[in-house]
A and B are shown apart, each in its own frame.
Chain A
Amino acid sequence: MSILINSSTRVLVQGITGFQGRMDTEFSLAYGTKIVCGVTPGRAGEIVHGVPTFNTVRAAIGRHPADASILYVPAPALRDAALEAMEAGIKLLVATTENVPRHDASLIVAEAQKRGVKIVGFNTNGIITPGECKLAGIGGDKPERIYWPGRIGVCSRSGGMSAEISWTLKKAGLGVSTCVSMGGDPITGLMMADYLRLFEADPETDAMVVFGEPGSGHEQGVANAVASGEIRKPVFALIAGVFQENYPRGVSFGHVAAMIADEADTATAKRKMLAKAGVTVVSGLDELAASVRQIMQAPAAMRKA
């Protein structure tokens, strides 16, 4: 098992005829991902690495039903593309687009919540269940170089760090159940704690690693879920960006942001909050590998804190 995707996931690619869409489609097909159809308005009839292209999502999945859609759509067109996919009934969207206008991101997420749609991203590098399926750029053309099948769930705010963490685990003789690059934009669909809940429910995940950065309330959600006992499997956290606290902050505008901004926004505050909740907080990758190995070598009964 795994979370969100597996070897039977059928995938639609919105923006399949673009440079990134084409390249990731090629690599993903080679990895075994079932990409069944693509959409680019005005390009119906084109075949991309064997995958048929349609003008609309409805037309595409009418012929080739799909469970998930990857969006390689530039920011100005993202809102409509995401709403179109939701309207057509797709329940998992992987939105690679970065720097999405805040009002659009907010609208897409609000719509997804009303419809029970899961959104990975914005600004995600993708999801991979090693050996089974990968969506979007994650792993590039040689995912096995970095992502090894195993029993650790990984969720990272940074696409690059999902690779670095998974490679570190592989080097330590461990593997990954599913690795999610959850997206680095200020607004994301699924929150970090949502992924941990999915990992908690996945019988083939034994422990989880998260990578966080300053800003956003993701770690607060994780701390709450761990402290409340909702998450019982071991959680390891690497939170980067402490150095920012050594330098003067950008001057804030007006008073609104200062007043309603979460005070737990700095990396140091996040590390403290997570440690207090029962998360194992590490400060580097070598330390991460050693800590995870130690827990994974313990008998299963002792893994619960």
Chain B
Amino acid sequence: MIRLTEEKTKAWLAARGLPVPKGAVANTPDEAAAVVDRFGGGVIKALVATGRRGKAGAVKVVANAAEAKPAAASVLAVQIGEHSVERLYVESKVSIDKEFYLAFAFDGRSPSVVASINGGVDIEEVHRQSPESIIHRPIDSVTGIRFWEALDLWQSAKAPNENLASLAKITVELWQAFRGADALTLELNPLAVTVDKKVSLVGAMMGIDDNALFRQPQWQAESGEQTIGGRKQTRGELTVAEANRTLPGGAVRYTELEGNIGLLVGGGGASLLVHDMILARGGKPANHTDSSPGPITEKLKVMLREILTRPNMAGLLIAYNHLQMARCDVKIEALADALRKTGVDPRKFPIVVRLAGPAEARARELAAEFPGIQYLDDDASLDDAVRLIVEKAGKGGLREASA
């Protein structure tokens, strides 16, 4: 999912004619002060694609440019989780009468809508304290949410009569925006009604389906920077990601971990199973890999080079489920290339291979050129392969790489 920052989400909503407060991006306290001056006061927020900014002290209300500078500087100094604040979003202040909560997301196979009259606060807190005040409904993808359904939603959420019609109208419009953007999540918190009874989308966050970029090219640029489990990608991961982008063929994914057993495993399901079985036997994987169908020899070469040149490695396991379409030999071709380039010697560094299926005979021939590679027999199970590599790696088969 591509998480859009606030200004991108709001620009998208504004372009559809939806009511968002006027705002501008600022990079420095001076720029923020200039915008506040122009707006005659405003709200300074950290421009990071995450919620809980209020709690972290990353939202400040200011009356004028003089107040804006120190406020902007303090927001720029905040750290929210792993996000540091590099830019600010300065918005004109809205005179809020009531704050509601509205979100769209996928719940299993159907989209769903979540509504509450307790907006403007942490919705998880609302959920803990009064779960009954949060109304959660599936949406029929064929019909979408219709005006009368939205009325019923807000009535069930106990919204005041005077706000029902405008809340229902904006809910239908936001559903259309959610679908139109190929969004996976759209959260409005608060969805405000102003003192002059107008709806204003004061808080807005959206996450886009990367699988729909072919028809949403405007967010291609946002899909770059990725983090894995809250950390930045490593040099090796970036190298493989770069190869994945620039070389043709099926997709490869590569995540580095702390262990010492290198893994080239696949496909999706078998790679999970093999990883589990290694841990269950006391082994420690140095990475996880996965790949999708398509010719990937060149990408595998890059990935295997990265795996073989990591420090403190004790072994490599190449294990796939019985292949049906994909060829066995391309994996060994990539391995042979990586062995030649890194100078790793399989007689000293344990390499266990379990590959069965199309072009297996050629794969065995290629592997035979490297004494030491243990290519398991045809009736060996994935369990056998895991047992062997954990045993060999456990014996401290330290690698002597010359490259």
Complex CA gap A217/B49 in Å reads: 28
Provide the residues of chain A in CB contact with B322, threshold 8 Å.
Answer: 145-146, 160, 163-164, 167
Decide: A213 and B268 in contact? CB cutoff 8 A. yes
- In the complex, what distance in Å separates the CA atom of A111 from the CA atom of B142? 7
Q: How far is the CA of A75 from the CA of B185 in the complex (A)?
A: 21
- B151 CB within 8 Å of chain A: no
User: B292 to nearest A CB, angstroms?
Assistant: 7
Tally of B interface residues using CB under 8 Å: 71
With beta carbons under 8 angstroms apart, the residue of B140, B184, B280, B357 that contacts A140 is B357
- The B-contacting residues of A in range 195-241, CB under 8 angstroms, are 211, 213, 216-217, 238, 240-241
Asked if A160 and B266 make an inter-chain contact with CB atoms under 8 angstroms apart, the answer reads yes
A21 CB to closest chain B CB, in angstroms?
A: 13
Decide: A139 and B324 in contact? CB cutoff 8 A. yes
**Inter-chain contacts of B379 with A (CB < 8 A):** 171
CA distance in complex: A185, B64 (Å)? 51
Compute how far the CA of A126 lies from the CA of B239 in the bound complex, rounded to whole angstroms. Answer: 34
Partner of A157, one of B179, B187, B269: B269
> Is A137 close to B, CB under 8 A?
yes
What CA separation (Å) do A21 and B266 show in the bound complex? 23
Whether A255 and B211, one on each chain, are in contact in the complex, defined by CB atoms closer than 8 angstroms, is no
In the complex, what residues of B have CB within 8 A of residue A76's CB? 214-215
Q: Are A255 and B124 in contact (CB under 8 A)?
A: yes
Q: A102-B106, A256-B103, A259-B114 are contacts. A242–B276 as well, Cβ < 8 Å?
A: yes
Say if the beta carbon of B127 comes within 8 Å of chain A.
yes
Which of B205, B266, B279, B321 meets A243, CB within 8 Å?
Answer: B279
Chain A residues with CB under 8 A of B324? 125, 137-140, 146, 159-160, 163
A76-B215, A260-B114 known; A255 and B383 CB under 8 Å? no
Q: Which of A157, A217, A256 is within 8 Å of B108, CB to CB?
A: A217
Give chain A residues whose Cβ lies under 8 Å from the Cβ of B132.
Answer: none
Q: Is the CB of A187 within 8 A of B109?
A: yes
B315 at the interface (CB under 8 A from A): no
Docked Cα-Cα span, A60 to B230, in Å, equals 51
CB closest chain-A residue, reference B122: A255
Q: Shortest Cβ distance from B179 into chain A, in angstroms?
A: 6
Task: For residue B230, give the distance in angstroms from its CB to the closest CB of chain A.
Answer: 5
Are B136 and A260 in contact, with the CB atoms below 8 A?
yes
Contacting A256 at CB < 8 Å: which of B110, B185, B209, B215? Answer: B185
B227 and A283 form a contact (CB under 8 A): no
List of B residues within 8 angstroms of A106 by Cβ: 106, 109-111, 141
Q: Which residues of A contact B275 (CB under 8 A)?
A: 240, 243
What residues on B are CB-neighbors of A138 within 8 Å? Answer: 324
- Judge whether A299 is part of the interface by a CB distance below 8 angstroms: no
Which B residue sits closest to A260, measured CB to CB? B107
Assembled-state Cα–Cα distance A247/B357 (Å): 32
1/0 per residue B265-301: CB within 8 Å of A? Answer: 0111110110111011000010010001000000000
Question: Of A110, A213, A244, A247, which one neighbours B142 at CB under 8 angstroms?
Answer: A110
A114 to B110, CA, bound (A): 14
Q: Is A161 an interface residue (CB 8 A)?
A: yes
* Bound complex: CA A216 to CA B106 (Å): 11
Question: Does A281 make an interface contact (CB < 8 A)?
Answer: no
Contact present for A164 and B230 (CB under 8 Å):
no
CB-CB < 8 A to A146: which residues of B?
322, 324
With a cutoff of 8 Å between Cβ atoms, the chain B residues found around residue A102 in the complex are 106, 182, 184, 209, 211-212
Residue of B nearest to A243 (CB): B275
Interface flags, A241-257, vs B, CB<8A=1, else 0: 11110111111011111
Give min CB distance, A286 to chain B, whole Å. 4
Instruction: Let me know if A161 and B185 touch, CB within 8 A.
Output: no
Not counting A184-B269, A256-B187, A259-B123, a sample of 9 additional A-B residue pairs whose C-beta atoms are within 8 angstroms of each other reads: A75-B211, A76-B215, A102-B184, A160-B270, A163-B321, A243-B288, A251-B82, A257-B105, A284-B273
The 18 sampled A-B contact pairs (Cβ below 8 Å) are A103-B209, A109-B141, A111-B142, A139-B324, A156-B269, A160-B269, A164-B322, A188-B109, A213-B269, A243-B276, A247-B229, A248-B231, A249-B230, A256-B114, A260-B112, A267-B272, A267-B276, A284-B280
Chain A residues within 8 Å of B, Cβ to Cβ: 23, 75-76, 98-103, 105-107, 109-111, 114, 125, 137-141, 145-146, 156-161, 163-164, 167-168, 171, 184, 186-188, 211, 213, 216-217, 238, 240-244, 246-251, 253-260, 267, 283-286
- 6 shortest interchain CB distances as A-B pairs: A158-B269, A240-B272, A161-B269, A160-B321, A140-B324, A160-B267
